[in-house]
Structure formats: C-alpha cells, structure tokens
Amino acid sequence: MKHYLSIHDIDDLQATVNEAIELKKKPYQFEQLGRQKTICLLFFNNSLRTRLSTQKAAMNLGMRVMAMNFGDEGWQLEFEDGIIMDQHKAEHIKEAAQVVSQYCDIVAIRAFAELKDKEEDEAEKVLNGFIKHATIPVVNMESSVAHPLQALADAITIKEHSSVERPKVVLSWMPHPKALPHAVANSFVNMMKLQDAEFVITNPEGYDLNPEITKGCKIVHDQQEALKNANFVYVKNWSSYSDYGKVLSSDRSWTMTQEKLGHAQFMHCLPVRRNVVVEDAVLDSDQSLVIEQANNRTFAAQVVLKRILETISR
C-alpha cells in the first residue's frame, strides 16, 4: 500500500479485516517492522480516538511517533500556486510537505471539511497538498470527505459481532445542534458497498448524501420502516449535502432510542452527544458496540501502517 486515503486503497477488504483481527490477538508480532521508522501525525482539527489509536498502532509496530496540532501550533498554510504571500499565511504547502518528509517516513493528516464551499471541501486541499508535495506515504485520519480508518474499524466490528451470514445494516441520520461533515457517513457507505449485507440508509428529506457515493444504495426516508429487522444500526449526524453544510432539521424524533433499536446492535464513531443523538439507555446497554469500535481503531490503523511499512521496506 502506497497511501491510505480511502477505503478503496484496500485491495481485499475481508482479508484486511481478518488480518486486523489477527493483529488484535498478537499486537506486537510485527514490532521489528517499524523499528527506526517515524510517523508524524498532523492535526488541523481536534481528536481523541484517532490520535491515540493511530499512535498506539504505530507503537505496536515499533515505530516512533511525533504528533502536532498543526491548526493551533503550525504556521498558517498557503495552498495556491503563484500567489504573492503578503497576507497572514506564512508558509506554503510546497515547503511544509517537503520539510515534514525530512523528519518522518509516513505522515498522517486530519483536516475536516469547512462546510462553507462544497467544491473547496471536495478539492481536499490539505490532504491533496501533502500527497502532491510530500515524498512519503500519506494516511488520511479524516479529511473533508472521508474517514477510512473509522470505516475499517467499523468493518472489523461488524465482522466480530455478526451472528448471521448476511446482516441487515442501517445507517441512520441523527439530529445534532451543529453542522457536521459527511466524512464518516461517506466512508461507512463506501465500506458497506464492499460487504455482503443488506444495507439501508435512512435520513430526512434534504439530507441525502452525495449521490455519487450512495449510487446503488437503498435510501428510505421513513426511519421506522428502515429499522425493521436490523442487525446493526449505525447512527451519525451529517449536515445537508444538497443545501451544503446547512442544518435543516434538528428533529429529535430521529434520536435513537432503546425501543427503536429493538434487538439490533448499536454503532457510532464517537464522540456522541448523549440524549440528542442517542438516549443513555442505548449507550449504556450491552447492545452498544461504541467502545469496541473505538478499540478497533487501533487495529484498523495497525493493519494499514503494516501494509505501508511493508511497501516502503521492500
């Protein structure tokens, strides 16, 4: 693997999930692979799980880790070519990406959508700037449109907890007071399209995700109908895609409750707002897989870093 930018950088999802499950049993078996190799984690946005799980994954592989909150601590970056840099941005991505490449062997980036301009977000200027100008592999720790480490952890969690051959998995929009990006939902959809499962997306009118991503997926606007006989219910808020970045509804009748969940297992990427997105009773029940999803972030990152280390060590 050269870079890990989307779930499509994985050739065989099932084999990768199985490998991650094996790594989980013996996390230190490839401790020599990352010896004298360094990963740099650059955060343009906040994180708990991604930062710690990616760091732990790298340490399990024997790597050295440097992390930087670039958004607060780094120079403001310019991305435009040929611009006269006489305003507030002090450093160009061309130098920044090449400089980072001198200090480490892999760079991992988190840079969220700003949700102001769809085209700008979809251009992924931070991630693509590093891909273009860095000379080392790049890992996506959540960009404007994708969160592939989360999606891989979710695939691992579904595999571990599925008791039927072809589970029904429902992705349901949830209310939220803030406008949130589409990255987690997009990557979950892309991952589910690679699974042998009955997959249904449910959201209110006006909240359909990017149709290029959901092409071929069943979308139901009646949540109750969608949830019938579900084995897994994955909940997530996202802002409107068609009315880009807007909060069109905060309808609490969409909030996940124990009654609506029925016998299904509950999933969410975290962080989650209790009693807005999901009621306490669900999160505190045995049906909640959220802590196991967070645990699996380590092994998702570890299998990805292992594949990249194998490529650069050749």
- Beta strands (DSSP E) in 148-264 are 168-173, 198-202, 218-220, 232-236
Q: Does 270 bind ligand CP (CB under 6 A)?
A: yes
* Candidate ranges 11-19, 71-79, 115-123, 268-276; the one touching ligand CP (CB under 6 A): 268-276
User: CB of 66: closest distance to ligand CP in angstroms?
Assistant: 17
Site string for ligand CP, 37-76 (x = CB under 6 A): ----------xxxx--------------------------
Query: Minimum CB separation from ligand CP for residue 51, in Å?
Result: 6
Distance in Å, CB of 119 to ligand CP, minimum: 25
Each residue 220-259 as x (binds ligand CP by CB under 6 A) or -, in order, gives ----------------------------------------
Residues 310 and 308: their CA atoms lie apart, in Å, by 5
Give the whole-angstrom CA distance, residue 185 versus residue 182.
6
Of 55 and 60, the one with the shorter C-beta distance to ligand CP is: 55
Q: Which is nearer to ligand CP, 69 or 98 (CB)?
A: 69
Q: Which of 55, 143, 144, 150 binds ligand CP (CB under 6 A)?
A: 150
Number of residues in contact with ligand CP, rule: CB under 6 A?
9
Q: Which is nearer to ligand CP, 83 or 291 (CB)?
A: 291
Beta carbons of 5 and 287 less than 8 angstroms apart: no
Which positions from 89 through 148 interact with ligand CP, judged by CB under 6 A? Answer: 142
User: Which residue number, 78 or 142, has a Cβ lying nearer to ligand CP?
Assistant: 142
Residue 186 contacts by C-beta under 8 Å, 6 or more apart in sequence?
A: 145, 146, 147, 209, 210, 213
Nearer CB in complex with ligand CP: 184/200? 184
Quick check: 245 and 206 in contact, CB under 8 A? no
Alpha carbons 145 and 185: distance in angstroms, whole number: 9
Shortest-Cβ-distance residue relative to ligand CP: 50
262 Ramachandran zone, left/alpha/beta (phi>0; psi -120 to 50): left
What is the closest distance, in whole angstroms, from the C-beta atom of residue 173 to ligand CP in the complex? 17
Nearer to ligand CP, 93 or 152 (CB): 152
Q: Which of 114, 235, 278 is nearest to 181 (CA)?
A: 114
Give the sheet arrangement for strand 265-267, strand by strand: 218-220, 198-202, 168-173, 232-236, 265-267
Least Å distance, CB 268 to ligand CP, is 9
Q: What angle do CA 110, 111, 115 make, to 5 degrees?
A: 145
| CB-based burial, 121-148: b 16+ in 10 Å, e otherwise | beebbbbbbbbebbebbbbbbbbbbbbb
**Contact set for ligand CP, span 282-311 (CB under 6 A):** none
Distance between CA atoms of 159 and 300, rounded to whole angstroms? 13
- Shortest separation between residue 42's beta carbon and ligand CP, angstroms: 13
Half-sphere CA count of 285, side-chain side, radius 13 A: 18
In whole angstroms, the minimum distance from the beta carbon of 150 to ligand CP comes to 5
Stretch in the footprint of ligand CP (CB under 6 A) among 77-85, 99-107, 240-248, 267-275 = 267-275
Q: Segment contacting ligand CP (CB under 6 A): 59-67, 232-240, 264-272, 277-285?
A: 264-272
Residue 58 DSSP SS3: helix
**Residues binding ligand CP (CB under 6 A):** 47-50, 142, 150, 269-271
